[in-house]
Amino acid sequence: MKIKYSSFHLPFEGSAKPALPEDDVLRFYSMRFCPFSHRVSLLLAAKQIPHHKIYIDLIEKPEWYTEYSPLGKVPALQLTQVAGQPALVESLIIAAYLDEQYPQRPLFSRDPLQKALDRQLIDRFAAVVSAVYPVLTCNPNAPPDALQNFELALDVFEQELIKRGTRYFAGEQLGIVDYMIWPWFERFPSLKYNTEQGYELDAKRFQHLLKWRALMLQDEAVKFTATDVQLHVKFQQSKLLGKPNYDVAFQQ
């Protein structure tokens, strides 16, 4: 997959704005290990949209970054081709904008009801994320029933795939639900290395989701934006030590 993009890494507080060309190319503010940023990366790749990618250190954020993201969060997307160059924040808002503005390979359903149902399903994934997050981030104070609650929340998506009876949540081709939940499925295998029991998804309980995961791994956008599981493990372990190493992906 070929996408025209450039990347800039800002490792410390007080850093100056990167010297970006005034070329009307989208500016995507990201963090390599942020799953919400990963969502936007997937859409930019799937639609092959040129962009400049600027990595933000979320601990020592550049002071100027609040011009684009008032709360200092990633992702943010600066629309350089629009008057005033406004910036969008929140991954699903950015995804909806990109899908309408760049209609090649549409990802949201054009049926209003199905589009609403898909957004509703994406919202339900928040229960999966909140349940597994303490374990995924190596929090020593993770609730003892965190993985149990994670599996209960994930059951909804296993049953939804069965109900839809399709290869992907969108049908026979990938769609917005597939891309919006994928970043966490890339990260779930790190649980095998970051939990005492070497946790993995139950092959029988989640057989449809595991088949879906195998199909997703063949997608070009998924491959293009992928981060190796061992890098995820190293990053999460650095967080456990209280010193998140945002540069670990650049130290290979």
The pLDDT confidence band at residue 10, using thresholds 50, 70 and 90, is: low
Q: Does 199 fall in a domain?
A: yes
What is the count of structural domains for the chain? 2
pLDDT > 90: percent of the chain: 79
The CATH code of the domain that includes 167 is 1.20.1050.10
- Asked whether the whole model's pTM tops 0.95, one would answer no
Same domain for 154 and 70, yes or no, is: no
Tens of pLDDT, residue by residue over 98-131, are 999 999 899 999 999 999 999 999 999 999 999 9
Same domain for 64 and 9, yes or no, is: yes
Q: Which residues are catalytic?
A: 34
Same domain for 35 and 117, yes or no, is: no
Tens of pLDDT, residue by residue over 67-101, are 999 999 999 999 999 999 999 999 999 999 999 99
Specify whether the CB–CB gap between 138 and 239 falls below 8 A: yes
The Cα 86–Cα 237 span in angstroms is 36
Q: Does 188 fall in a domain?
A: yes
Q: Does 236 fall in a domain?
A: no
The Cα 38–Cα 186 span in angstroms is 10
The CATH code of the domain that includes 91 is 3.40.30.10
Same domain for 36 and 95, yes or no, is: yes
In terms of residue numbers, what domain contains 148? 112-218
The pLDDT confidence band at residue 252, using thresholds 50, 70 and 90, is: very low
Q: Does 192 fall in a domain?
A: yes
Same domain for 92 and 124, yes or no, is: no
Same domain for 46 and 118, yes or no, is: no
The alpha helices in the chain, defined as continuous H runs, are 35-46, 91-101, 112-136, 146-164, 176-187, 191-194, 207-216, 220-224, 229-240
